[in-house]
Amino acid sequence: MPREFTPKVVTGNALIEGDVIYQTADDGWTRNLSEAELLTDEAEARLRLLMAEGQPDQVVGPYLADARPGASGPEPTHFREAFRRTGPSNYFHGKQAELG
């Protein structure tokens, strides 16, 4: 029996900088998960992923990541996605440098 569809966001990495990026409802990309489009319909999620896959000049390795609604927008449901949104882990740069 197939699993029930759970909400998703489209994510990948920015082609030039390598930062984690998320697809927005206006067909753009953001580095903030809270600004990502939360997809609750499976067909729409697949369509949005196809759209992302058609933008190799902007995004590398797009995929659907599980998410849930949060007070400030989508929130990750898995450790991997929570970790990815904090930025690179080898040293403080990008998002991590901005927090310091």
- Domains identified in the chain, total number: 1
Residue 12 lies in a domain: yes
Q: Taking 70 as the threshold, does the pLDDT of residue 100 lie above it?
A: no
Residue 3 lies in a domain: no
E strands in the chain: 8-14, 20-23, 29-30, 59-70, 73-76
Residue 90 lies in a domain: yes
Contact in structure between 51 and 80 (CB atoms under 8 Å)? no
Domain of 77 in residue numbering reads as 8-99
Q: What are the tens digits of pLDDT across the range 51-83? A: 999 999 999 999 999 999 999 999 999 888 877
* Eight-state DSSP code of residue 84: H
Quote the pLDDT of residue 61. 96
Give the residue with greater pLDDT, 58 vs 18: 58
Q: What are the tens digits of pLDDT across the range 27-53? A: 999 999 999 999 999 999 999 999 999
What pTM value is reported for the model? Answer: 0.82
Of the candidates 31, 1, 19, the one whose C-alpha atom is nearest the C-alpha of residue 9 is: 31
